Amino acid sequence: MTRSLRPLLATTLIFLFAYALAVSQQPAMLSTRVLGNFLTDNAFLGIAAVGMTFVILSGGIDLSVGAVIGFTTVLVAVLIMWLELHPLLAFAIALIVATAFGAIMGAAIHYLKVPSFIVTLAGMFLARGGASVLSPDSIGIEHPFFTAVQKSYILLPGGGRLTVVGIIMLIVFACAILLAHRTRFGSNVYALGGSETSAALMGVPVARTTISIYALSGFLAGLAGVVFSLYTSAGYSLNALGVELDAIAAVVIGGTLLTGGYGFVAGTFIGVMLQGLVQTYIVFDGTLSSWWTKIVVGVLLFMFILLQRLVFRAGPRRT
Amino acid sequence: MTRPTVDLRPTTQPPLPRQRPITSFLTKPQVIALVAVLLVNWALFPGFFTITWQDGRFFGSLIDVLNRGAPVAILAIGMTMVIATKGVDLSVGAVMAISGATAATLVTNGIPAPTAVLAALATGLLCGLWNGILVTVLEIQPIIATLVLMVAGRGLAQLITEGTIVTFSDPLLIFIGTGSFLGLPMPVVIALVLMVLATLIVRRTALGLLIEAVGVNRSAARFAGLKAGTLLLIVYTFAGFCAAISGLIVAGDIRGADANNAGLWLELDAILAVVIGGTSLMGGRFSIPMAVLGAMIIQAMNTGILISGFSPEFNLVVKSAVIIVILVLQSPLSARLFRRLPGAPK
């Protein structure tokens, strides 16, 4: 057990402890049905959070994620319902647009030398505005392909359903773990987050890596939008409002260091599940109001940031 | 006791901005931009500059721009100081909701209005202090430290209002949002007073210089003998205070506290206003009046889009276009380009 895995371990233990606590209050929560719903309900958040993990690992931040999800749902709905394209073709177009959008933001961050936070803020305005210019109203999507996808699932022992969107999220996480820890691109991302200057001196292609990171985040936000449209069967410009905050929270709770250069994609998965747990518990309880979700997530966020500070203050100090 | 190493009296400095002639103020890009936006509005709506006097106060589209822009302008005053220290405060929108909720809930429970207003301002100070402690004592990056309150703040506001929109009919609170003083709407008066006071305090004392020093290099400022931590605490607390005032105005304007929508996304508008005002996001250079001007530019664009009949959502596209133009203009890339353009030797 290396020391660097400790935050991941801590997050996992806290999740298991919280789940045990929730089950002791609401025994019905211990079932594959609930677990299956965890995956389905948080699929879009999980996929977006994977992209956010890479961005934060590289020392940046992407505020446009929620807006890109909203824009993608509208674009998919417009392509399918108004232009009558096949959903798969519509998905492909939407993913290309989202990836290009991310790549342009990455290029702006690198070549204009501005903080990622302000570029992606502009991207957020642009994507939300663009979506509402496309269609200010919600567009319902009706297509046999959609119904077929929504109805297909793998039955888990105990009556739980592993839906298509849940499977997509699991595949994305599996691929992202390989990408982050087993490829040259992954190492470059970590190097960039550690120190951009050192990374450049070591021969990391800074421009290409920065653009790829934001393109990846854009692609995953687009994929999250596709999943969201499958999940809700509608395209609306105000979909997924504030998801970027949930995604950042999931990444932080997952133990990724906000200054970049340190963290795990797997931790983000636990972070997403922990948020899902809070939400599900509040639904199960019935007496707590939904605003408690926000407070609890805020408290969790604070606790994990504090934990990070304590863990890293004990180690060698970096400024 | 004086510190012998730091002499902060600006005796031998070049003339400060306020001592420049008025012409250089008028040729600032922000002023030109504001005039251009106003002229476009005037072209779209000929009665734009008409101001009438009615019931003891001014009315007109121009006054409306000032009035609607006031909450963001007040946020921008606090945000300017935070950004000058190389930080950012994402929680101001949520703090607005908390302050509005506090005032409204207290008033509906029979607490006298002045006490409720003071309590709301105190909650704003507390929220700001919390952010400041996270940034200074725990040394968390500002964007993340304030994110905590941004996520949890609306939940807290809903906790205070118990999930409902608390409406009130208290004259003092309504006066703060919709009243008038010397013919000007109250929000405008508050914003102006706050702007003048903040500018005087920052520029007539060494405080502004100290804030800039911390923004340029916090460690260097600390080694130079500045109490960087205390300064940051003050700055974040002040941002929380500004947000609380803004929250009171917004609550008074709609005669109710809406925990979900009060101040929603206004933190982004405030940051945008500060950036338009020419304050560097890398810290160390700031101007409070310019940030207020930036808020007015944003509001003038909002109003223009509304009069010209576009949907309000179109605003977002225009705003992003503005940010992109500013970023390109401020970038080192274009600086090199501009230097090369006017016949520089190859």
Bridge partners, residue A139, by sequence: A235
Give the span between the Cα atoms of A220 and A9, in whole angstroms: 26
In this prediction, residue B345 carries a pLDDT of 41
Pairwise pLDDT comparison (B160 vs B125), residue with the higher score: B125
| Nearest beta carbon to residue B323 from set A121, A237, A248 | A121
Contact A305 B140 (CB under 8 A): yes
Q: pLDDT-derived band of residue B344, with 50, 70 and 90 as boundaries?
A: very low
Give the span between the Cα atoms of B40 and A293, in whole angstroms: 45
Min CA distance, B15 vs chain A (Å)?
30
Task: Kindly list the residues from chain A whose CB atom is less than 8 angstroms away from the CB atom of residue B321.
Answer: 126
Query: If you average pLDDT over residues B295-305, what whole number do you get?
Result: 87
Q: How many domains does chain A have?
A: 1
CATH of the domain at B145: 1.10.3470
Task: Kindly list the residues from chain A whose CB atom is less than 8 angstroms away from the CB atom of residue B142.
Answer: none
Q: Is the pLDDT assigned to residue B2 strictly greater than 90?
A: no
Q: pLDDT-derived band of residue A135, with 50, 70 and 90 as boundaries?
A: confident
Contact A295 B159 (CB under 8 A): yes
The C-alpha angle with vertex B78 and arms to B72 and B79, in degrees rounded to 5, equals 75
Its domain, for residue B158, covers: 57-329
Task: Kindly list the residues from chain A whose CB atom is less than 8 angstroms away from the CB atom of residue B141.
Answer: 258-259
Task: Kindly list the residues from chain B whose CB atom is less than 8 angstroms away from the CB atom of residue A117.
Answer: 88, 143
For residue A302, give Cα distances in angstroms to B148, B250, B337.
Answer: 6, 29, 44
Its domain, for residue A93, covers: 33-241+259-270
Pairwise pLDDT comparison (B346 vs B17), residue with the higher score: B17
Output the CA torsion A249→A251→A254→A259 (10° steps).
Answer: -100
Residue A205 lies in a domain: yes
CB contacts < 8 A, A to B, total 127
Task: Kindly list the residues from chain B whose CB atom is less than 8 angstroms away from the CB atom of residue A125.
Answer: 268, 316-317, 319-320, 323
Express as a percent the part of chain B with pLDDT over 70.
87
Pairwise pLDDT comparison (A70 vs B210), residue with the higher score: A70
Query: If you average pLDDT over residues A301-311, what whole number do you get?
Result: 77
For A113, name the nearest residue in chain B, comparing CA atoms only: B331
Residue B228 lies in a domain: yes
Interface of B with A in 123-162 (CB under 8 A): 134, 138-141, 143-145, 147-156, 158-159
Min CA distance, A136 vs chain B (Å)?
8
Q: How many domains does chain B have?
A: 1
Min CA distance, A113 vs chain B (Å)?
6
Average pLDDT in chain B: 82
The answer to whether A114 contacts chain B (CB < 8 Å) is yes
Min CA distance, A220 vs chain B (Å)?
22
Residue B336 lies in a domain: no
The answer to whether B325 contacts chain A (CB < 8 Å) is no
Residue B37 lies in a domain: no
Contact A294 B319 (CB under 8 A): no
> Which tens digits make up the pLDDT trace of A227-268?
999 888 888 888 777 788 889 889 988 888 877 888 889 999
Could you tell me the end-to-end alpha-carbon distance of chain A, in angstroms, rounded to an integer? 27
Specify the 3-state DSSP secondary structure of B314: helix
Task: Kindly list the residues from chain A whose CB atom is less than 8 angstroms away from the CB atom of residue B271.
Answer: 118, 121
For residue A58, give Cα distances in angstroms to A62, A209, A263, B160.
Answer: 11, 9, 10, 39
Task: Kindly list the residues from chain A whose CB atom is less than 8 angstroms away from the CB atom of residue B144.
Answer: 248, 252, 258, 305
Residue A246 lies in a domain: no
Residue B285 lies in a domain: yes
Query: If you average pLDDT over residues B166-173, what whole number do you get?
Result: 83
| Nearest beta carbon to residue A113 from set B143, B323, B332 | B332
Query: If you average pLDDT over residues B46-71, what whole number do you get?
Result: 82
For A136, name the nearest residue in chain B, comparing CA atoms only: B313
For the record, the structure tokens of A117 come out as 């936070």
Query: If you average pLDDT over residues A113-133, what whole number do you get?
Result: 86
Contact A298 B152 (CB under 8 A): yes
| Nearest beta carbon to residue B316 from set A128, A248, A292 | A128
For the record, the structure tokens of B332 come out as 């080192």
pTM: 0.82
Residue B26 lies in a domain: no
Residue A3 lies in a domain: no
Mutation for B interface: A295, A300, A311, A313, most B CBs within 10 A: A295
Residue B141 lies in a domain: yes
The answer to whether B344 contacts chain A (CB < 8 Å) is no
In this prediction, residue A318 carries a pLDDT of 44
The answer to whether A111 contacts chain B (CB < 8 Å) is yes
| Nearest beta carbon to residue B155 from set A113, A123, A294 | A294
Task: Kindly list the residues from chain B whose CB atom is less than 8 angstroms away from the CB atom of residue A292.
Answer: 155
- The amino acid occupying position A150 is Q
Query: If you average pLDDT over residues B314-321, what whole number do you get?
Result: 80
Residue B256 lies in a domain: yes
Task: Kindly list the residues from chain B whose CB atom is less than 8 angstroms away from the CB atom of residue A302.
Answer: 148, 152
Residue A233 lies in a domain: yes
Residue A288 lies in a domain: no
Specify the DSSP class assigned to residue B90: T
Contact B327 A301 (CB under 8 A): no
In this prediction, residue A212 carries a pLDDT of 94
| Nearest beta carbon to residue A118 from set B148, B327, B332 | B327
Min CA distance, B257 vs chain A (Å)?
16
Residue B120 lies in a domain: yes
Asked which of A65-69, A297-301, A314-318, B146-150 is least confident by mean pLDDT, the reply is A314-318
The answer to whether B331 contacts chain A (CB < 8 Å) is yes
Query: If you average pLDDT over residues B299-311, what whole number do you get?
Result: 82
Contact B143 A117 (CB under 8 A): yes
Average pLDDT in chain A: 86
Contact B138 A299 (CB under 8 A): no
Residue A180 lies in a domain: yes
The answer to whether B315 contacts chain A (CB < 8 Å) is yes
The answer to whether B292 contacts chain A (CB < 8 Å) is no
In this prediction, residue A177 carries a pLDDT of 92
In this prediction, residue A319 carries a pLDDT of 41
Q: pLDDT-derived band of residue B143, with 50, 70 and 90 as boundaries?
A: confident
Q: Is the pLDDT assigned to residue B1 strictly greater than 70?
A: no
- The amino acid occupying position B335 is A
The answer to whether A300 contacts chain B (CB < 8 Å) is no
